[in-house]
Amino acid sequence: MDWVFLGFVIFLFMLAISDLWVGVSNDAVNFLNSAIGSKAARFRTIIIIAALGVFCGAIMSNGMMDIARHGIFRPEQFSFQELMYIFLAVMVTDIILLDVFNSLGMPTSTTVSMVFELLGATFAFAILKMAGDSGLGFSDYMNTEKALSVIMAIFVSVALAFASGILLQYIARLLFTFNYKPGLSWKIGSFGGVAVTCIIYFMLIKGVKDLTIMTPELKAWVDENTWLILGACLVFFTVLMQILHWCKVNVFKVIVLIGTFSLATAFAGNDLVNFIGVPLAGFSSYQDYMANGNGDPSAHMMDALNGPASTPFIFLFAAGVVMVLALAFSKKAHNVTKTEINLARQDEGDEMFGSSKVARSIVRWSNSTARWVVSITPESVRKWVGKRFDNTYIEKEDGAAYDLVRASVNLMVASMLIALGTSLKLPLSTTYVTFMVAMGTSLADKAWSRESAVFRITGVLSVIGGWFLTAGIAFGCAFIVALLMYFGGYVVATIIVVVGLAVMIHSNIKYKEKSNGKTESAYYDILSCHDEAKIWPLFSKYVSDNENLFLSDVCQKYLAATDGLFDENVRLVRKAYYKLKDEKVKMKNLRRKETICLRRLDPETGMKKSAWFHMISNNREQLYYAIRRICEPVYEHIDNHFSPLPQQYVEEFRIRRDKVVEMINDMAEICANKNFEELRNLDDNSRILQNEFSDMRKSLMNDIQSKQINLTVAYLYLNILQESEQITIVLKQLSRASRKFQLG
């Protein structure tokens, strides 16, 4: 059966390639967000610099930390077959888990996922072996101390990173203000020297020190002369940055790009284990079994994994190539980056997250504390600080979420904290530190207004919750998968691996379909445009596209609610009902985004279009609530198995319903093509349908008086007729508002 394990090893490497791709998509936010968010360079330039850092870190890395070989489990207590099942369970769980988080645009920790997947799978086998009266305890099978140290480091790093980001960004803003270019003088040289020295310290302690090119002698020399190296770097880079400033070079951009390269290098050099550590451990196990095994995979114990790891260069080179390609072409990497940048941006935009009770409580407490601090601060100090934080004339690149000062502080603080944690032997996660630093600096920069603070705090809590949720899900899923493999043997193990690959492929296909239908790019194009003459055409198309999508969606829900009633299809109506509930939040966010875009028009155009724009938004809301007032009672009626609608009513209503659907589709097409000449026919059809619905309501009232129809059914049908008539009226109003908005 050796060929089966060879197949498992091949599967592990296939999953490793996919895990590299998904992992880079997830962790790209760690080193891309500051450069992209501040527009320090063109996107292509940022990607090239980050790719060089990733590739250098990968090919020089030792490729695998001992945690993947003997950091979580005691290999001498497990057979080759058992460890192969553990490795397979870890990789299948990991690839699906990270892919789901990336598809949702939520950053998560690859370190935490790998550690807890190893813990979950090992825990399953430890229980089974202990149940067999092995005479050993958990401590003989597992190394739980490593997991506990990771958890404690996470809690500490989250709070420390957030507080440090607030403090240092506040100091930096007092030093430079938002309009930083006129007052740089001698300050920029010192700031640049300190920032680059912090980044160099980060590279020495966290990155280069653990690379394969570092001999023991060289490492010892770095340890003994760290402060000398840092002092020399501080003097050299302070002078260099001052000279660059005199040469009209933007020093902040230099700091951001250097920081991006260093974080990318350290990420690849140290986090590569999270992606290929387990497959390489499986490969080493297979090599040892083939060389020393006696033909019985369940009897060959894996003491060999206690030895140090030695990764062939070809694996490191191939991993570097895959990571670079993922960084350059993965849309998910850009989506995860967008989540963090959106939460940290300086100006208004789409609030991706809703409001939560915890966030509202935090905002209330923060406002009370801020008022108390202001009340005890001398007036002269308040005025001086107010001037330093005046963002009326903010120096920000076109389309940037925040300025270069904050981007520099992000990288400098993250570098210092990760270096400090490493020197204290704390396994900090680059994901946690970089994200929380970015949130802290954005808060200190007053980027969280009272209108957006509660949403952004909810977003931060959601992301942090996602990180900790990762640990629990990773542990539980790996535990279950390992048990299935143990009891199902080779057949179940193979099926699980194939299913994992199928789910991953399906997830990517669905994500691609989802991404292709978004209008987000148009929104961000408007925000990044500074030519007033171009903003109106962009905004006009953005509104018409949103109308088209909204009307198409309304039509689908209307059809689902009424067809579900006719056919007594509770699943169809339930699906429409829950989608309508979710649609309310989307409508609110859409109106907010469109209003933000409206404010970017020139004042004269904005005044002319404002009334008609708000009328369009109000009419959309009326349509939404009309459909919802149909769907909710229909769902309740069918779900309770009440009497069906008589066939004569179904037939008479279906004819008018189809005409309403045709009107909605016509209106959607008019919005898409801006062919408002067709509106005359739509208005005529609307008047005819209104009269027909009115006559149907009168006829129904006569049937109710003569007791020819069940009252429950009658009131449901009456409601549907009234709301359908309302839809025709609102469509007529919407058509007029759309024509006035687009044509003036």
Question: What class does CATH assign to 521-743?
Answer: mainly alpha
Q: For residue 14, which amino acid is it? A: M
What's the pLDDT band for 449 if we cut at 50, 70, 90?
A: low
| Non-local CB neighbours of 194 within 8 Å, separated by 6+ positions | 234, 238, 412
| Residue 579 · residue 557 · CB < 8 Å | yes
What's the pLDDT band for 562 if we cut at 50, 70, 90?
A: very high
CA 630, CA 35: separation in Å to the nearest integer?
Answer: 49
**Burial group, residue 621, by CB count within 10 angstroms (0-12, 13-18, 19+):** middle
Of 50-54, 136-140, 335-339, 397-401, least confident by mean pLDDT is 335-339
Q: 163: how many CB neighbours lie within 10 A of its CB?
A: 13
Domain locations in the chain? 2-492, 521-743
Top-confidence residue, 670 or 721: 721
Question: How many angstroms from the chain centroid is the CA of residue 709?
Answer: 53
| Non-local CB neighbours of 466 within 8 Å, separated by 6+ positions | 101, 106, 107, 108
Give the number of residues written for the chain.
744
pLDDT of residue 239: 93
| Non-local CB neighbours of 684 within 8 Å, separated by 6+ positions | none
What's the pLDDT band for 727 if we cut at 50, 70, 90?
A: very high
Mean pLDDT of the 435-450 span: 79
Helix residue ranges, H only, 640-675: 647-673
pLDDT of residue 512: 53
pLDDT of residue 435: 79
**Burial group, residue 516, by CB count within 10 angstroms (0-12, 13-18, 19+):** exposed
Q: 622: how many CB neighbours lie within 10 A of its CB?
A: 17
Q: 151: how many CB neighbours lie within 10 A of its CB?
A: 16
pTM of the model: 0.67
Q: What is the pLDDT of residues 322-373, one digit of tens each?
A: 888 888 777 655 555 555 555 555 555 555 555 667 777 877 787 788 788 8
Count helices and strands (H / E) in the chain. 25, 0
| Residue 159 · residue 200 · CB < 8 Å | no
pLDDT of residue 392: 72
| Residue 28 · residue 337 · CB < 8 Å | yes
Q: What is the pLDDT of residues 647-692, one digit of tens each?
A: 989 999 999 999 999 989 888 888 777 777 766 677 778 888 888 9
Q: What is the pLDDT of residues 174-219, one digit of tens each?
A: 888 888 777 777 788 888 898 888 877 776 665 566 555 667 788 7
CA 142, CA 126: separation in Å to the nearest integer?
Answer: 8
Place of tokens 């790009």: 257
CA 65, CA 343: separation in Å to the nearest integer?
Answer: 33
CA 731, CA 744: separation in Å to the nearest integer?
Answer: 19
| Non-local CB neighbours of 138 within 8 Å, separated by 6+ positions | 126, 130, 144
pLDDT of residue 195: 85
What is 136-152 written as a DSSP string?
Answer: --HHHHB-HHHHHHHHH
Question: How many angstroms from the chain centroid is the CA of residue 102?
Answer: 6
Percentage of the residues of the chain whose pLDDT score is greater than 90: 12
Among 170, 243, 232, residue whose Cα is nearest residue 201: 232
Mean pLDDT of the chain: 80
pLDDT of residue 517: 45
Provide the Cα torsion 469, 16, 64, 146; round to 10°. Answer: 20
Place of tokens 């209104």: 690
Mean pLDDT of the 258-265 span: 82
Mean pLDDT of the 626-647 span: 91
Provide the Cα torsion 211, 213, 219, 221; round to 10°. Answer: -140
pLDDT of residue 516: 44
Burial annotation 680-689 (CB, 10 A radius, 16+ → b, else e): eebeebbeeb
Report the chain's C-alpha Rg in angstroms: 31
Q: What is the pLDDT of residues 63-109, one digit of tens each?
A: 445 667 777 788 888 888 888 899 889 888 887 787 677 666 565 67
Identify the helix (H) or strand (E) that includes residue 106. Answer: none
φ, ψ of residue 102 to 5 degrees: the values are -65, -40
Angle at CA 156, nearest 5°, toward 115 and 445? 120
CA 364, CA 27: separation in Å to the nearest integer?
Answer: 33
Mean pLDDT of the 116-135 span: 85
Q: What is the pLDDT of residues 563-618, one digit of tens each?
A: 999 998 999 999 998 888 878 878 888 888 888 888 888 888 888 888 888 899 99
CA 481, CA 474: separation in Å to the nearest integer?
Answer: 11
pLDDT of residue 444: 83
CA 491, CA 649: separation in Å to the nearest integer?
Answer: 57
Top-confidence residue, 29 or 672: 672
Q: Tell me: pLDDT of 496 over 70.
A: yes
pLDDT of residue 236: 93
**Burial group, residue 410, by CB count within 10 angstroms (0-12, 13-18, 19+):** buried
Top-confidence residue, 337 or 173: 173
| Non-local CB neighbours of 95 within 8 Å, separated by 6+ positions | 15, 18, 19, 22, 500, 504
CA 86, CA 481: separation in Å to the nearest integer?
Answer: 9
Q: Tell me: pLDDT of 530 over 60.
A: yes
Burial annotation 472-504 (CB, 10 A radius, 16+ → b, else e): ebbbebbbebbbbbbeeeeeebbebbeebbeeb
pLDDT of residue 29: 64
